[in-house]
Amino acid sequence: MTDNSTTLQLAFDLLSRDSITPDDKGCQDLMIQRLEALGFSIQRLPFGDVDNFWAVHGTEGPILCFAGHTDVVPTGPAELWKYPPFEPVIVDGVLFARGAADMKGSLAAMVTACEHFLSQHREHNGRIAFLITSDEEGIAVNGTVKVMDWLAQQDEKIDWCIVGEPSSSNTVGDVIKNGRRGSLGCRLAIKGIQGHVAYPHLALNPIHAFAPALAELSAEKWDNGNEFFPATSFQVSNINGGTGATNVIPGDLVVIFNFRFSTELTEQDLRQRTEGILNKHGLDYLIEWNLSGLPFLTSSGELINATVKAIKDVAKIDTELSTAGGTSDGRFIAPTGSQLVELGPVNSTIHKVDECVLAADLDTLSHIYENIMIDLLS
């Protein structure tokens, strides 16, 4: 470890803690200690069993916020890993550990970027902030969303936000996320009448009743997308019906499906059109909707320009703007009007056994973050 950079040393310290969501296991204490030494003011914001903190350096002007999470997903069977998942190791230039890519490597790079920047720009313009949670990989109800509520109560607003999610595809910085699709989930319960398969006239098969509606929902063209987003997609993830017996018509059917939708549609559009199709087919149903995130987009602005330039200057590549992938905590921040990008390591091993990143990529990432601060705050 003594031969590693300060970024890698901090990454090792963070990765050695088994902070499986929502447990932080002291990761935030490590970050807070480093940030307090730089003069950041710290506000710890625990909600329920979740640790969060808000840190600020500077007293006035626009806020550039680094946002991220200390929690990681479970490892799966540890014996399937080449190396123990919470004993980080670098082998042939590759750093292995749960959270290396998602996203403790980014957290380490954010902290050391600030250390380098503040060593040269103590009297910088604006403010630097950190919004860190241990509730991103789980149900995400006591984390970033609660901190954003608290910030609103303080009449505080984030102007620019860098989320450290692993955005890159092949090399660090080749892709940044400047938006995400919305996610609308649904649990649909369709009522039928249970009976004997030999007497279908005395029963009502909810699977048969739903089949034409499912065909229509699957074939529906919800929108055409736009220059930033693909067309909205409808996907069924679960269908459950039947007693397990081969001679019983089921009395009910439960279907779980999801929309990933663009800025071309609203949640209400999707709900109304879906229920219109169900009603047209005369189904007896109960429906429960769950909106886990609205679509958001930063199409242009100072943050995009600074990020693209920093990647070009440091990594010597042209970056691609993308809105692909799932949701992130950016969905809680961007709707407040913040310009937001997601920039982090290569994402090819996230949530997998043997999660890893190129060790050198974390130093590159730290330098990119630092250059963004130089552009926006100096």
Catalytic positions, written as ranges: 71, 136
* Dihedral sign (CA 209, 213, 214, 219): positive
Q: Nearest 5°: phi and psi at 153?
A: -65, -30
The CA-atom distances, in angstroms, between 215 and each of 48, 258, 354 are 43, 15, 40
d(CA 243, CA 80) in angstroms, rounded, equals 36
HEC string of the chain equals CCCCCHHHHHHHHHHCCCCECCCCCCHHHHHHHHHHHCCCEEEECCECCECEEEEEECCCCCEEEEEEECCECCCCCHHHCCCCCCCCEEECCEEECCCCCCCHHHHHHHHHHHHHHHHHCCCCCCEEEEEEECCCCCCCCCCHHHHHHHHHHCCCCCCEEEECCCCECCCCCCEEECEECEEEEEEEEEECECEECCCHHHCECHHHHHHHHHHHHHHCCCCCCCCCCCCCEEEEEEEEECCCCCCEECCEEEEEEEEEECCCCCHHHHHHHHHHHHHHCCCCEEEEEEEEECCEECCCCHHHHHHHHHHHHHHCCCCEEECCCCCCCHHHHHHHCCEEEECCCECCCCCCCCCEEEHHHHHHHHHHHHHHHHHHHC
Q: Greatest CA separation found in the chain? A: 82
